[in-house]
Chains A and B, each alone.
Chain A
């Protein structure tokens, strides 16, 4: 499961920075300018892919900075009560 999370995050980052090399610990925000759209995109990616809602106090750049930090965030939130389901 853990590998699965990492793989999905890598697959999200890959096309955003074509031709650049980076590791799971690298700061993806250092690879380009972080504008509102990209920030929202990253948050939405996490929420949608892993079916979680990122609470306000976790909405912090540090939690989305690298594959490792995003994966840690997903595991941390998933451990809590599940929210954010799409309304029926």
Chain B
């Protein structure tokens, strides 16, 4: 047992609070610009997540830059209620406990700076404070090893995120009436992916978690091969309105079988969710399939974040017809395909 563990009870840790500079990553983001993940950190983050241990951040940093860096590392979604700013760490730790509604004695702080650990330990002696050097040992430490990993613990983060999503959905809906959307003069364009679209397509596939139907991400090379394959259809969608372009915000990958087309991937950027366009790309693919006289199936892999995609399919009339491994297979009878909404101009080709 370490000194830190003796200083508190021996109850299990429910939330690990990470410092960023020289703890989660090597380097100081605002000074060095370029930082690299510290060895073993990403694995520890994933192990803790699988065990149902929540994770958050207490960092003295510039919020947007730090969040963007976390996104670049593909780790953003692991952290709930991150506290990134210029508050003391003791305040940040208390804010996290409050936000997640868990006891402060169930928190652990990982920070490379002795000053920060002392400051937190002084205000909150119940918090387990660890040096960044101890990170790789965390998975073996008893306080980070729950006796049982249940369905509930595995889903814990998603439950928290689900409630955040609910809140966001509610807030966003407030200002989004058809009348308001009509004032935006939006044009939604759908076209086969060109060479120039592929980098963005790759980025979309890597970054878009919530609205990705399978959670599968594709590399530039893979997408490039699909774009040239006669057996596939790779569509990108863009959106613009009177304020300017949103860029490419959607991607659909269709495998064209002789009798059945399969939507291998459907994704939309979260940025356009409140613009009422989430379903337009799917409707377009449904129309193409109907015109080609084929059946249309879609692969769906449920994860923590993409329930809205499942709802999108179900409300478009897709039914579960089977499974391939972990993939659910959905199929639409193409009997009812919505026309684009009146507030949107759709351009294809």
B34-73 to A contact mask, C-beta < 8 Å, 1/0: 0000000000000000000000000000000000000000
A25 within 8 A of B: no
B170 within 8 A of A: yes
The contact of A35 among B159, B276, B309, B320, by CB within 8 Å, is B276
Q: Which of A1-9, A55-63, A67-75 contacts B (4 or more CB under 8 A)?
A: A55-63
The smallest C-beta distance from B141 to any residue of chain A, in angstroms, reads 23
Q: Provided the pairs A59-B310, A88-B101 are in contact, do residues A37 and B276 lie with their beta carbons within 8 angstroms? A: yes
A11 within 8 A of B: no
Contact B160 A87 (CB under 8 A): yes
A28 within 8 A of B: no
The contact of A32 among B101, B102, B178, B280, by CB within 8 Å, is B178
Which A residues are in CB contact (< 8 Å) with B173?
A: 37-38, 41
The contact of B172 among A37, A59, A87, by CB within 8 Å, is A37
Contact residues of B between 152 and 180, Cβ < 8 Å to A:
152, 156, 159-160, 163, 165-166, 169-170, 172-173, 176-178
A13 within 8 A of B: no
Contact A37 B160 (CB under 8 A): no
Q: Is the interface of B mostly helix, strand, loop or mixed?
A: helix
The smallest C-beta distance from B238 to any residue of chain A, in angstroms, reads 17
Contact residues of B between 88 and 102, Cβ < 8 Å to A:
101-102
Which B residues are in CB contact (< 8 Å) with A38?
A: 173, 276
Give the residue name and chain of the A residue nearest to B339 (CB): A33
A40 to B311, CA, bound (A): 6
The contact of B341 among A32, A41, A59, A87, by CB within 8 Å, is A32
A2-37 to B contact mask, C-beta < 8 Å, 1/0: 000000000000001010000000000000111111
B3 within 8 A of A: no
A79 within 8 A of B: no
CB < 8 Å A-B pair total: 84
Contact B315 A34 (CB under 8 A): yes
Which B residues are in CB contact (< 8 Å) with A39?
A: 279, 308, 311-312, 314-315
A36 to B278, CA, bound (A): 5
The smallest C-beta distance from A47 to any residue of chain B, in angstroms, reads 8
Contact A59 B278 (CB under 8 A): no
Which B residues are in CB contact (< 8 Å) with A48?
A: 166
B113 within 8 A of A: no
Binding site for B on A (CB under 8 A): 16, 18, 32-41, 43-44, 47-48, 56-57, 59-61, 64, 86-88
A-B contact pairs, 21 of them (CB 8 A): A16-B177, A33-B178, A33-B338, A34-B315, A35-B279, A35-B341, A36-B268, A36-B273, A36-B311, A37-B176, A37-B273, A37-B276, A39-B312, A39-B315, A41-B169, A44-B170, A48-B166, A56-B320, A59-B311, A64-B315, A87-B152
Contacts A39-B311, A56-B314 known; list 20 others, CB within 8 Å: A33-B338, A33-B343, A35-B278, A35-B341, A36-B211, A36-B278, A37-B273, A38-B173, A38-B276, A39-B314, A44-B165, A44-B170, A47-B166, A56-B320, A59-B310, A61-B315, A86-B163, A87-B156, A88-B101, A88-B102
A-B residue pairs, 3 tightest by C-beta = A36-B278, A33-B341, A39-B315
